[in-house]
Structure 1
Amino acid sequence: MEASIARALSLWRDLSDFATTRLGISTSAFQIAVSLFAVLVAAVAVGAVGTSLPSRPIRYTVPPPKIPSPETTVEHTTVKLPGSSAVQCYAPATGQFLGLVNASSAGAIDRC
């Protein structure tokens, strides 16, 4: 492993010396060009790997909803309490009783 690292560094120095002495390129310009080339090669490699892997759907199952046991019907459909102007409020999703709200008259709404 150390021998291959030493060879890679030696090759890097030789290429850098060749670029600066024979081609007249500054050391920093050479390093920038090699860095951009490495980024380009890495981007192409990542893109090639991404397109070569098949995209498969994730399979999952959803159980059917539970059927309510007894059928229920509402016999008394008013939300007003007998003898009161209050309105009974229920949660639409759960049917939970939320409380009583006094109904406004038409005159009270016009005053708001």
Structure 2
Amino acid sequence: MTLPTPAAKALIQRVIEDYARAIANKDVGLFKSVMPNLSAADEKRLQQFFKAFKSHQVVIAILDVRINNGQAVVHAVRRDKIEGRTVPETPQTFRLVQGPGGWTIDSIGQ
């Protein structure tokens, strides 16, 4: 794995920002645009999650980005505020793939 170029890092950061914005805005379409491999069952769970809360703010701080052969691993810290209450921050690892349309999230883990 290698460090990304500034341009690649900016594109990857944009995908992560769109992911956070999709959650905050309860936007399933935007979520699917950054994570197109979302299964039908996961999409249904996502919609139920969105309905459960009136407000949800998400901030994701990227700690490290590594790229290798059209794949990227992003280590980050996620900070959520749900209905005004701060949730303990959690580490997240995003795995992204680069396709013809740009970078998308393939999987998310802790």
Higher relative strand content: 2
What TM-score range do you get, normalising by the shorter chain? under 0.3
Provide the TM-score with structure 2 as the length reference: 0.22
